[in-house]
Structure 1
Amino acid sequence: MNRDFWSALFSWWPFVALMAAWFLFGRKRVLALVRSRMLSKSAPSRADDRSDG
């Protein structure tokens, strides 16, 4: 049983590592995007007040 466990662990480690990296870095990017949208909704932006002249 111990040999089967290590064999399965070795075959699945790339998937586990990829999912962990996606979770860590993707979560930070999603939170940053949500936070920036929340801040832009709560504070008036100057981009709307700009004129082209």
Structure 2
Amino acid sequence: MSNTEVKTSRSMIKFVLTIFIIAILVALTYLLFFTPGEPTPVAQSVNEVAR
């Protein structure tokens, strides 16, 4: 491979890894700070509605 192809490949890998890391950080931020409190079990909710 020529020098240009090597630089291009490295740049594309850096770009993809950067996007992947940003996506992971956004997902972790959402899960840790923006998820609502205690969830109620679905089965329990269905049983209460049926009564």
Query: Is the structural similarity TM-score above 0.5?
Result: yes
- Stretches of structure 1 that go unaligned for 5 or more consecutive residues are 1-9
The structural deviation recorded for 1:51 is 2.4
Question: How much is the aligned-residue C-alpha RMSD, in angstroms?
Answer: 2.3
The TM-score normalised by the length of structure 2 is 0.58
The structural deviation recorded for 1:34 is 0.8
Runs of 4+ aligned structure 1 residues displaced above 3 Å come to none
Residue correspondences, number: 43
Q: How many percent of aligned residue pairs carry the same amino acid? A: 5
